């Protein structure tokens, strides 16, 4: 494992289904920011097939903002999204090179605050923005345990 890897890149290794599907490139930016670059995937196309569904933008923002919060942890521990507010300004064209930039804004009472945006790489056009709050140190049981199913 490289010293320069962001903790989220370790968590979202090549074996992680989201990373494998999206071919995300994690780029730490200073002490409190994270940039993730990727091409807008066809697998998230909306009904017209030329743009991604807005749910893709929401998923990407939640993932990258949460990953930015993970990068500020002193020790690795679980986190959970408390609230994510997204504004989708423009639709993402399938195949476009995009990036999501997240900036950690602080932590108070085990809640981390992060803002971020998605932009198109070729012209830096703003596509979506978000602010998120994340609970640090959550404990959860596997879904099978919650539903009463055998593992």
Residues 78-122 have pLDDT tens digits of 889 999 999 999 999 999 999 999 999 999 999 999 999 999 999
What per-residue confidence (pLDDT) applies to 1? 37
What digits encode the pLDDT tens for the residues 13-23? 666 677 777 88
Q: Could you tell me the pTM of the whole model?
A: 0.84
What digits encode the pLDDT tens for the residues 8-67? 766 666 666 777 778 889 899 999 999 999 999 999 999 889 999 999 999 999 999 999
Which sign does the torsion angle of CA 90, 92, 96, 101 carry?
positive
Q: Which string of DSSP letters, residue by residue, matches 65-93?
A: HHHHHHHT-SS---EEEEEEEEEE-SPPB
What per-residue confidence (pLDDT) applies to 139? 67
Report d(CA 137, CA 151) in Å as an integer.
24
Tokens at 15, concatenated: 């074996």
Query: Which architecture, in CATH terms, is 7-139?
Result: Roll (3.10)
């Amino acid at each position: 494992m490289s010293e320069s890897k962001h903790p989220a890149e370790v968590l979202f290794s090549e074996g992680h289904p989201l990373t494998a599907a999206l071919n995300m490139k994690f780029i730490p930016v200073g002490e409190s920011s994270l940039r993730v670059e990727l091409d807008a995937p066809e697998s998230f196309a909306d009904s017209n097939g030329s743009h991604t569904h807005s749910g893709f933008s929401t998923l990407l923002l939640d993932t990258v903002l949460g990953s930015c919060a993970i990068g500020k942890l002193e020790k690795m521990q679980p986190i959970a999204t408390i609230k994510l507010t997204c504004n989708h300004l423009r639709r993402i064209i399938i195949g476009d090179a995009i990036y999501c930039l997240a900036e950690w804004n602080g932590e108070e009472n085990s809640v981390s605050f992060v803002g971020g945006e998605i932009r198109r790489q070729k012209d830096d056009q703003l596509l979506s923005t978000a602010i998120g709050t994340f609970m640090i140190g959550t404990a959860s049981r596997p879904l099978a345990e919650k539903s009463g199913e055998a593992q």
